Amino acid sequence: MQIKQKLEYPFWKTPHFFCISLLISIKLLKTGILTILIENKIFNRKIEFILKIFNFFFENKNEKEIGIKLLQCLINLGPGYIKFGQALSTRPDLVGNTICESLKNLQDNVKPISTSSARNIILNENENFLKENLTSFNENPIASASVAQVHTGILKTGKKVAIKILKPNIQENLFKDFIFFYWLAKCFEFFLPSLQRLKLSKNVEVLSEVSLNELDLTLEASAADELAENFKNHPSYKVPKIYWEFTTKKMLVLEFIDGIRIDDLISLNYNNHDIKKITEVGTEVFFLQVFRDGFFHGDMHPGNILIDRNGALVPIDFGIMGRLNNKDRQFLALLLTHLLNKNYKKVVEIHFEANMLGSEISHDHLSQAIRAISTPILNKPIGEVSLAKLLGQILGLSKKFNIEVQPQFTLLQKTMLMAEGVTRQINPNINMWDLSRPLIDKWINDTHDPFKILDEWFHKNKLILLKIPEIINKIDHILTKK
């Protein structure tokens, strides 16, 4: 079934959704989070004034209390909102360090399902696994998030494994949230036609489709397998082994990694890990995933990245993965390069060449607007520069300059925000984009090398080229008969 069909809702549900939106708004306001967002100057003056009116009755200056209330609110609202909170937990620039610390509990510390339910799920998926393949099974989960929870066990071979199981009714609960988000996006597009170019509903479709991978653990296993193949020769990035013989749609069995969370600086320093090297490897891996492979980890919150005893980075969740075709990668590489070089006219040019601008748009005016929003960000201290935030602000110009927003970059922007957030948490004096700049420049040069382009063309059309002699012989045979 198409993802759009899954998100469609009957018209008669509109009053129901409207009531839900009001209730959710009140619940979020009561946490006091709006106070933090207003103080951090997230919105323009006009919107900020309106929000201050709404926030008058709910203002709260205690960040720790706000964090606890927001955490509980998102958990109660459902798995879709938990995912939103996971992304927010990597953004201290938006909500502050205290609230981020509270929201980190959403990454792997959500209330688990009961032991009996977990056992029943495993038995239903593989009746003999617990009895015949394991010598021990830890009934207490080591992690529990919005969609799944993880237990550990010891195989009869002596290998320790992580056993990930989907929570009951998770597809129904998750899509209940996504359908509401879809309705909300459609409402914005209907009542505010100027927002249609942001393709909000299309973005919900993209994120919903990506999340489907989380609801079939064989797809997650396949994603891990592909990522492992891409990095099989990388010494500092290790993907856990998948035990395919035990893996099903609702149960994933993989190698257990005894590691330290990437944001646990106390433990990393205690175990003499090189924080600078970890940052450099993380940046290189992000670049290779996005630009070299066009296949990237789309849920890079700190709970999903461990450091093993050898200092290697180990991803442990592959439910959300993103893809970019070569055309998208080239556009992104040029965009980041021109932004870092502060060449704003080139930024406008590549948008035009990608058919993202209307012919009536003044390139000079758009270039000036991009300079106005870029300069304050790019002139910050190196550890505070956020290209992901800058990209978001450039997308914000879409209303004024009729920029066609590309939905395929939605997940990537979220991933960039998470990657920047993680980097800033563990090493605030290093900017990941400064580290990746020479890699991006080299990639651009390589992809525009005419000999390499010719070689790739020959490789893609090898089968057709091999048939040319056969075609010539057939033509010659026909001509000879005549």
The H or E element spanning position 322 is strand 321-323
Residue 178 CB partners (closer than 8 Å, separation 6+): 7, 80, 204, 207, 208, 211
List, in order, residues 6 or more apart from 15 with CB less than 8 Å away.
none
The kind and range of the H/E element at 136 are strand 134-137
Distance, in Å, from the CA atom of 403 to the CA atom of 189, rounded to the nearest integer, reads 16
Does residue 109 contact residue 144 with C-beta atoms inside 8 Å? yes
254, 330 contact by CB (below 8 A): no
Contacts with 145 (C-beta within 8 Å, 6 or more apart), sequence order:
82, 86, 106, 107, 108, 110, 303
Q: State the catalytic residue, choosing from 177, 263, 299, 317.
A: 299
Of 266, 316, 318, give the one whose Cα is nearest residue 152: 316
Give catalytic status of residue 299 as yes or no: yes
3-state secondary structure of 433: helix
Q: Which residues are catalytic?
A: 299
